[in-house]
Amino acid sequence: MKKIRFLFHYQCSSIWIYDDKGELICNGFSDELEKENEIAQLTNELADEYDSLFENNETAFEYKGFSSEEDKQFFLKKTNIAVALIKSRLGNNYIVESRVDL
């Protein structure tokens, strides 16, 4: 069965899609997900928030982190909502995994 992994990498989509052999198909939205505006909006927002946790300029690339524990917990809550939405819409066609390391 195909697999969707929800994980964050700097300047990448949080959606990683694998075929039933474990080979990466794409980093981004599948045809089924392209129609899901709520998921697209939430995952894009999360990706932007994740990217903002890093300083990236001419002299440095480093992880800054969240400004507070509350901000981190709110981000994780939104991540769980996104994963639940993906599972509810695509859970019959994909195994959905969440791998969020912060």
Around Cβ 74, how many Cβ atoms within 10 Å? 13
- Tally the domains of the chain: 1
- Look up tokens 């969020």; give the residue: 100
From first to last of its 102 residues, the chain has per-residue pLDDT tens of: 999 999 999 999 999 999 999 999 999 988 878 888 899 999 999 999 999 999 999 999 999 999 999 999 999 999 999 999 999 988 788 999 998 887
Q: Rounded to two decimals, what is the model's pTM?
A: 0.86
What is the extent of the structural domain holding 87?
2-98
